[in-house]
Structure 1
Amino acid sequence: MKNDLTNASLDQWIDRHLAEEPPRSKSLVMTIFGDAIVPHGGLAWLGSLIELLAPFGVNDRLLRTSVFRLAQEGWLVSQRDGRRSHYTITPEAAQRFARAFRRVYAAPHVHWHGSWTFVLGTNGLSAAERTTLRKELLWEGYSVVAPGIAGHPAGDAEALDDLLGRLDMRGKVYVVQAAQLPGVQGKPLADLIAEGWDLREVAGGYERFIERFAPVRSLLGGEVSPRQAFIVRTLLIHAYRRVQLHDPQLPVELLPEPWPGAAAYELARELYLLTYAAAEEYVVAALRREAPDVAGAGAAFFERFGGLH
């Protein structure tokens, strides 16, 4: 009886969440690819995608439109085999895709070593190139700290080099690392945080995530079906990803205290641990209905959130 009540309550929470915050289908396809399909080889037949998206109210027509647009944008590539078609992430998008999802599952423990990464010397670029570079740097968490200068206190060199490569801008801008000059009483570099980022929106996003998903803890105490576990895990990662990928990933020493991102990560980790195994049953069953030889999740899957036990 207790399990029946738990399942009914969990179904009510799922229905309420989907009614109040229905996920956009195209974004949801990306979440399911990254969280559920990539660990099993990254390929999904259309029939399996239809089955995986159906619990979220995404019908056949809407799914076809979403994957078509993602293919147009260079994220997915499709192949046909007779009347059937399957989708995979394009080689060009795979590295960027993998980096974004690794970030989702990683603990927010970036530390500051006292230096900044600056991208400058954009005067030689065309107006269109400057606009594109600025947009991409902002997406990577950089801030425009002065005209023509973008900076970050914990810049990821690999991600920045990949960004410049994608934009064909290697060798066109200066990329430098700078630290406070000893013996000179300048303004502390740490003060650039307040000038460069307004963290209130990001903090608010984390707080709303916690408010929305904290009640799920008690609803996962009993037996949960694979379908329910898959829905909760997907909604969890979809919501967390949306907030976390807008987080500039500043070093913990430069964040306000208490920072809700830390609590949001712990909640996401806890709920993922409670749902991942049962959810995998649902994912594997859906994928193998169209491709019986689909492999189990790879080793990298079990490294998520510091290790799945």
Structure 2
Amino acid sequence: MHARSALFDLYGDHLRTRGGSAPVAALIRMLEPLGVRAPAARTAVSRMVAQGWLVADPTPEGPGYALTERARTRLDEAAARIYRTDPAGWDGRWQVRVLSPIADRVRRERVRNQLRFLGMAPISDSTWISPHHSGEVDQLLLDEAVPVVSFSATDAAPSSLLLKAFDVDTLAAAYRTWLAEAGELVATGPVSDEQAFVVRSELLHSWRKFLFTDPGLPAVLLPADWPGARAAAFFDEHADRLRPAATRFIDQCLTREGATP
């Protein structure tokens, strides 16, 4: 597991609801079972600070880091999508953003990747759509200084162009593959709090990747017997089952006393 991704998961799934801050020593203890060594953990922390996701926050155990407001917003929205906690239904409106061309390739790909993460899909090089409004989309385009035309529209029946943009068939296949692999991951069952944390972290890490590919289309727009629904139920069941033991492991890491590794 990549150190930066593991650190994002750690803050998003455990530390965000515990004040959003932790000592570096505790972060290293939590990441070590995931195969992230101390030097890689420190490098990941430094990069997240440079990118505006973390800020220095001294603790009694030594140096620590807390989530920035930007990071809290990103992780709150990600958690709502991961655990599907937003009860609001679809209002039948599509959110549309028409972007001015971005000449620089690196910047263009950065913006595209972020838009996909935020649940938007391209129907052309410049036009992106989503069934959900996200304030982060507008903030992203503002931060990147991308001129944009924003509006919403209704469409009684999604056209083939929309279905192609969201690539529902490929997404369905990805969910079926995930179900098979996740079933193998949880088959043996952890025997310790640390192992429960590792299994749950790996389950979450693989599930979180769907944030980049699944925009959360309303059920009315999806095929019958949608595999994404079965996958979500599987994730919920096992994430909930593993949560108490994983939480105990996090508690142990946060309360352990000792010198910083």
TM interval, short-chain normalised: 0.7 to 0.9
Please tell me whether Structure 1 or Structure 2 has the larger radius of gyration of its CA atoms. Answer: 1
Call closer, same or farther: CA 1:135–1:218 in 2, change over 3 Å.
Answer: closer
- Correspondence for 1:91: 69
Q: Runs of 4+ in structure 1 displaced over 4 angstroms?
A: 79-83, 107-113, 132-135
Amino acid at match of 1:136: Q
Identical residues among aligned pairs (%): 28
Answering whether residue 244 of structure 2 is matched by residue 277 of structure 1, we say yes
Q: Look up the match of 1:205.
A: 174
Does residue 1:57 correspond to 2:58, yes or no? no
Aligned partner of 2:151 among 168, 176, 201: 176
Shift of 1:259: 2.2
Q: What is the one-letter code of the residue matched to 1:234?
A: S
CA RMSD, Structure 1 to Structure 2 (Å): 3.1
Query: Residues 17-166 of structure 1 correspond to what in structure 2 (within 5 A)?
Result: 23-80=1-58, 84-106=62-84, 112-120=90-98, 122-123=99-100, 127-128=103-104, 131=108, 133-146=111-124, 148-152=126-130, 154-166=131-143
Which amino acid counterpart does residue 51 of structure 2 have in structure 1? E
**Match of 1:277, as an amino acid?**
P
CA distance in 2, matches of 1:97, 1:226: 24
The structural deviation recorded for 1:268 is 0.9
CA distance in 2, matches of 1:112, 1:191: 20
Mapped contact 1:110–1:250 kept (Cα < 8 A)? no
Question: Is the contact made by 1:110 and 1:249 (CA closer than 8 Å) also made in structure 2?
Answer: no
The separation in 1 between residues aligned to 2:91 and 2:155, in whole angstroms, is 11
Cα 1:235/1:51, change in 2 over 3 Å: same
Checking the alignment, whether the CA contact within 8 Å between 1:227 and 1:282 is kept in structure 2 is: yes
SS of 1:174's equivalent in the other structure is: strand
Contact 1:75 1:89 in 2 (8 A): yes
Deviations 1:116-156 (A, max 9, x none): 22123x44x7645993654433332322324532222x121
**Which residue matches 2:226?**
259
Residue 240 of structure 1 and its aligned partner are, at CA, apart by 0.8
Unaligned runs of 5+ in 1: 1-22, 182-187, 292-309
Per-residue Cα deviation, 1:88-118 (whole angstroms, up to 9, x for no partner): 1222322122211221111698855443221
| 1:209, distance to aligned residue in structure 2 (A) | 2.1
Paired residues of 1:229 and 1:279 also in contact (CA < 8 A):
yes
The answer (yes or no) to whether the contact 1:117–1:176 under 8 Å persists in 2 is: yes
Counting matched residue pairs gives: 256
C-alpha change, 1:214 and 1:133, in structure 2 (3 Å) is closer
* Normalised TM-score (structure 2): 0.83
Deviation at 1:86, TM superposition (A): 0.7
Unaligned runs of 5+ residues in structure 2 are none
- Verify the 8 A CA contact 2:95 2:132 in the aligned structure 1: yes
Shift of the 112–90 alpha-carbon distance from structure 1 to 2, 3 Å rule, reads: closer
SS in 1 for 2:63: strand
1:201-241 deviation line (CA, Å, top 9, x unaligned)? 43333223211222455534xx8421122112111111111
Matched, 1:243 2:243: no
User: Structure 1-normalised TM-score?
Assistant: 0.71
Residue identity in the other structure for 1:39: T
